[in-house]
Every structure is written in C-alpha cells, then in structure tokens.
Amino acid sequence: MLRHGKLSIVTFILSASRSTDIPAFYADWLLERLKAGYSVWMNPFNQERYRVSFADTRMIVFWSKNPKPMLERLDEVESLGFRQYYFQFTLNDYVAEGLEPNVPPVAERIDTFKRLADRIGKERVIWRFDPLMLTEKISIDALLERVGNIGQQLKGYTEKLVFSFIDIAAYRKVQKNLAGLGVREFSPDDQIQFAQGLAELNQDLRLELATCGELADLSAYGVKHNKCVDDELMMRLFHDDAGLMDFIGAEYDMFNGWQIKKSKKDKGQRKSCGCIVSKDIGMYNTCRHFCVYCYANTSKECVLKNVGRHNDESESLIG
C-alpha cells in the first residue's frame, strides 16, 4: 500500500532496490533506517523529498548482484520484525568482457547464492541473468553456455530464472556508455533462438522461466511474463499473514486454495511490467558496481560524488 500525505508515503511492500544495490553497498544504512522506522527518498524527476514510513511494511523485496553484506545482517533484520522478504539475485557472467567491473568473481557470487538459499530457502532466491547482451564475441550460443554453466551450479538452490534482453535505443545514457563496444539488441528472431536454446537447457535445469518487462510472447518455449514484485509468490510463501493477503487481494477458496482475486499492478512501471505496487527507496547514481550497461547511473563521476555524500546515519541514501 502507498498512502500519501504531505510529502510522506506509508508502504506495505518495500523495494530495496531497483535503482541501486542496497544489499551490496548500503546494508548498514538500511538497518539503521529499519530501526528508525522510516527513510527519506528523493523523487528523481522533481527533487521533492518524501518521508517513507515502514510502520505498515509487511514485505521487503531485495535486489542485488552481491547480497553477501546483507546475508550477514539478516538475523538483525528479522529481529526488527521484518521476517517476510525474498531476493532478486542477478548473477551474470560478463567477466571476459569486463562489463561488470566491480562485482565479485562468478565463483564467489555462486557461493553467496548457495549460502543465501540455505539460509532462507531456495524459493526465496530468484536467479536473474539480466540483461542478455550480444556482441561480436558474445553469440547466442555463448550466452546459453554461460547460463547453462551457472545453472548447473545452482541446481537445488533456486526454482526460477528471470531474464531480459538489453534495451539500448530507449536509454540515452546506455547508448553513451556502450558506445564502441559493439553491444547490440536482440532481434525478434534472436529472442526466439535464445528461448529455444534455453528450453533445451531447461530440460535438465527444471527451472521456472520468465522474462522481465518484455513484450515478446515466448510461452511456446515455456517462458512466462514475470512479476518481480510478485503477489503470487507472496501468497505462496506468506499466506499466514492476513494483513498481507488482504493487501495483495488474496483469498482462500475451499475448492481451489489461495487465489489472487484482484492484482494491484504498479502503474508507475512499464506497461509490460507485471509487478504489483511497492515503494522503492533507492536512488539513481549511487551503485558502485559500475556495470557498463547500467540504466541507473549517468557516469562514474556522478556516482562517486554521491557516494561521498552518503552517511549510514542519515535519513536519505544521499546524506
């Protein structure tokens, strides 16, 4: 739920965060904010500052490429009463190309993934290979090989793989950052070829497959449209929470079990996004992974300037 007052928001579902990697870089700050019961978020379009209250928060969705720092703080998060959460864990392999220069090695990230799944359950750690990119050196077959290699190592530690195809034309900053690197978008035929290959891999991996924010219909290859902030997953995992079930519109039917009667789609996201409403407390230009293709960072210089303004004790991510 988002209830707006004068420059204030009360939220049932907290997103941390689409805009930056809070678990990797700002875990201590988040803990301080959870203790305080609120944070301050700045609208990137008009710079208005909002007080985001966690008084009614029943659910946290974490997004990260390296949740190891947060993994080490989950006991404290739960002790504060925030026991209902899951992770969107992006685990790519663009090491040879240097496209994700500040993420840990693949083997270390796989180890973190396994530790996290052991700690909270495989159903609460969603694997993302996101975004998928093609270059002169990265073919569809090469991508499938990388996905298959990671997937084999994650067997038994996740139930779902989410992926998306890189959007370059829609983001001027991405065009600028990728200039000269030969990265290109997937054509419709490329998307089908990848989905076909993934379906073959999945005969062994046996994962639920889904795309994030894609219009393409790949259902013929066993690929669904995803909800990253997912009412159906919340219903499955946390149906004992009557308040959360009421908010997401879930009801129990004696013949059909739990059902979502009316989904609260987030109208602030893209039309092709299936997420339900939540409040994201991250801020652009604060992620220190420095991924070359990043949608959320304008430049490394801008990020470093903002990082210099960060304080774990401050109300806002940028102090």
Instruction: For residue range 130-187, list pLDDT tens digits in order.
Output: 999 999 899 999 999 999 999 999 999 999 999 999 999 888 888 888 888 899 999 9
10 Å Cβ neighbour count for 292?
A: 17
pLDDT digits (tens, 9 = 90+) for 197-212: 999 999 999 999 999 9
Q: Is the pLDDT assigned to residue 259 strictly greater than 90?
A: yes
Q: Are 266 and 277 in contact (CB under 8 A)?
A: yes
What is the mean pLDDT of the segment spanning 288-307? 95
Torsion of CA 71, 75, 80, 82, to 10 degrees: 60
Nearest to 61 by CA among 289, 233, 223: 233
What is the mean pLDDT of the segment spanning 260-265? 90
Query: How much is the pLDDT for 4?
Result: 59
Q: What is the DSSP letter of 167?
A: -
Q: Are 173 and 301 in contact (CB under 8 A)?
A: no
pLDDT digits (tens, 9 = 90+) for 60-96: 999 999 999 999 999 999 999 999 999 999 999 999 9
How does the average pLDDT of the chain come out, rounded? 95
Task: Enumerate the β-bridge partners of residue 258.
Answer: 252
38 half-sphere exposure, CB direction, 13 A CA radius:
12
The structure tokens 């779902």 sit at 160
With b for 16 or more beta-carbon neighbours within 10 A and e for fewer, the 68-90 pattern comes to bbbbebbeebeeeebebbbbbbb
Q: Map out the domains of the chain as residue ranges.
A: 2-229+266-309
- Asked which of 119-123, 204-208, 256-260 is least confident by mean pLDDT, the reply is 256-260
10 Å Cβ neighbour count for 137?
A: 9
pTM: 0.96
12: pLDDT confidence band, cut at 50, 70 and 90? very high
- Residue 214 token pair: 């894609």
Report the Cα 265 to chain-centroid distance in Å.
17
- Residue 59 token pair: 């659910």
Alpha helices in the chain (DSSP H): 22-25, 27-36, 68-71, 74-79, 106-120, 140-153, 172-178, 188-205, 231-238, 242-248, 300-309
Query: How much is the pLDDT for 3?
Result: 62
Task: Enumerate the β-bridge partners of residue 85.
Answer: 60
Query: From edge to edge, which strands make up the β-sheet containing 38-42?
Result: 2-5, 8-11, 49-53, 38-42
10 Å Cβ neighbour count for 141?
A: 11
Q: How many angstroms separate the CA atoms of 145 and 12, rounded? A: 40
